Amino acid sequence: MIIKTNASGFDHPASSEITPQAIYQGRRELIKLMAKGVAGAALASWAGRKALAQTLEKPGKLAALPGGKSAVAGAMTLEKITDYKLVTSYNNFYEFGTDKADPGKNAHTLVTKPWSVAVEGLVRQPKTWTLEDLLKLSPQEERIYRLRCVEGWSMVIPWVGYSLSELIKKAEPLGSAKYVEFVTLADPRTMPYVGSRVLEWPYVEGLRMDEAMHPLALLAFGMYGEVLPNQNGAPVRMVLPWKYGFKSAKSLVKIRFTDKEPRTAWNKAAASEYGFYSNVNPAVDHPRWSQATERRIGEDGLFAKRRKTLMFNGYEAQVAQLYTGMDLKKFF
Ligand SMILES: Nc1nc2c(c(=O)[nH]1)N[C@H]1C(S)=C(S)[C@@H](COP(=O)(O)O)O[C@H]1N2
Ligand SMILES: [Mo]
């Protein structure tokens, strides 16, 4: 899997985070490299993308959303943060297309204002929260988490948000609430692929109650000190750093407490391939490929080595106790 050079900016629509000057610069760099006769398409696109990254790596011009440093254990990794440009141009957000470059090109049609999130189901305090109220519910924190996709790539991203547990506490779940279901927006008018049959819409995810209450489970409103770009799940999404990326539902509209394990979008699409838990686990392979290693986005040059995938994506000390006594091959 090679990131397409085009995805790095050439045919990016007049998106607010890229200045025409930067695109022009990037294109000139690439033309120069190609003129030098850099051998092989792979090398040309890799070198070209690196040249582009240098001009386009800064965060965009979205509204600022800085977060204070987090005190949550495991919330900061010292690993190199992935370039903003890569994080915003290599996405999975099937409502906007299945190609990695599609969300960056298409998600400008998403309308994020006004926005609200309904909290309902087995709770004492059901409530529809406006985004403004949600933003104020708890102080925003910056947390540098790895995001590891089931497809075998990973990124390191400075997210901004607060623990989902803050919102759950306000909802006062009943004793019968054992699971939390996350429902995301499915609007055919603004999401061009919601009519497609790749997945059942809306995209739904789920967690067990104790997983949802874990302090690392982040309700995220921003990244890189700014509000979320549309392609990364604006205006509010989940980030579960110890689970495969697809558990981190984007553009949330409903959080529902239930007594039954929710059927999730990927589980419905292919139950033998995507289980309910989907914890990052190098010892449990996807039926069609290994999960033992990963490719860090931004390190995909000719000589870059794949990294060893860590148990629970490196968050074992924080989350392993949630799964004591469970057969993780069975509950994958
Ligand atoms: N609503 C919705 N949320 C989604 C997805 C999606 O297709 N739709 N894709 C998931 C997958 S597979 C991954 S890897 C992450 C990617 O998040 P990122 O684009 O911010 O890296 O979002 C997840 N959340
Ligand atoms: Mo993913």
Q: What is the pLDDT tens value at each position of the chain, 332 positions in all? A: 443 333 333 233 333 333 333 433 343 443 443 444 443 343 444 344 444 444 445 687 899 999 999 999 999 999 999 999 999 999 999 999 999 999 999 999 999 999 999 999 999 999 999 999 999 999 999 999 999 999 999 999 999 999 999 999 999 999 999 999 999 999 999 999 999 999 999 999 999 999 999 999 999 999 999 999 999 999 999 999 999 999 999 999 999 999 999 999 999 999 999 999 999 999 999 999 999 999 999 997 878 899 999 999 999 999 999 999 999 999 99
Only one residue has tokens 């490196």, namely: 314
pLDDT for 287: 97
Look at ligand 1, atom 21, and give the residue with the nearest C-alpha: 91
Look at ligand 1, atom 8, and give the residue with the nearest C-alpha: 93
CA 78/CA 163 separation, integer angstroms: 20
| Position in ligand 1 atom list of the atom nearest CA 250 | 3
pLDDT for 301: 80
Phi-psi region of 85 (alpha: psi -120 to 50; beta: other; left: phi over 0): alpha
| Position in ligand 1 atom list of the atom nearest CA 238 | 24
Is the Cβ atom of 90 under 6 angstroms away from ligand 1? no
Only one residue has tokens 């990016």, namely: 12
Is the Cβ atom of 89 under 6 angstroms away from ligand 1? no
pLDDT for 28: 40
Tally of CB atoms within 10 A around 253 = 18
Is the Cβ atom of 154 under 6 angstroms away from ligand 1? no
| Ligand 2 center from residue 243 Cα (angstroms) | 10
Is the Cβ atom of 294 under 6 angstroms away from ligand 1? no
| Ligand 1 center from residue 95 Cα (angstroms) | 10
pLDDT for 300: 76
Look at ligand 1, atom 10, and give the residue with the nearest C-alpha: 246
> What does the chain come to in residues?
332
The fold of 15-323 is Sulfite Oxidase; Chain A, domain 2 (3.90.420)
CA 61/CA 49 separation, integer angstroms: 21
Is the Cβ atom of 280 under 6 angstroms away from ligand 1? no
Most distant pair of Cα atoms in the chain: their distance = 68
3-state secondary structure string across 154-179: EEEEEEEEEEHHHHHHHHCECCCCCE
Q: What are the structural domain ranges in the chain?
A: 15-323
Look at ligand 1, atom 24, and give the residue with the nearest C-alpha: 249
Spatial CB neighbours of 251, under 8 Å, sequence gap ≥ 6: 95, 110, 112, 184, 185, 233, 234, 235, 236, 237
CA 271/CA 30 separation, integer angstroms: 43
| Ligand 2 center from residue 92 Cα (angstroms) | 6
Is the Cβ atom of 163 under 6 angstroms away from ligand 1? no
DSSP, collapsed to helix, strand or coil, labels residue 144 as strand
Look at ligand 1, atom 20, and give the residue with the nearest C-alpha: 232
Q: What is the pTM of this model?
A: 0.84
pLDDT for 302: 78
Tokens of 176: 């019968």
Is the Cβ atom of 264 under 6 angstroms away from ligand 1? no
Q: How far is CA 233 from CA 83, 99, 222, 312, 318, in A?
A: 18, 16, 9, 23, 25
pLDDT for 61: 85
DSSP, collapsed to helix, strand or coil, labels residue 191 as coil
Is the Cβ atom of 239 under 6 angstroms away from ligand 1? no
Is the Cβ atom of 123 under 6 angstroms away from ligand 1? no
Q: How far is CA 43 from CA 1, 50, 289, 296, 300, in A?
A: 14, 10, 26, 18, 11
Tell which one of 82, 198, 248 to mutate to probe ligand 1, the residue whose CB is within 8 A of the most ligand atoms. Answer: 248
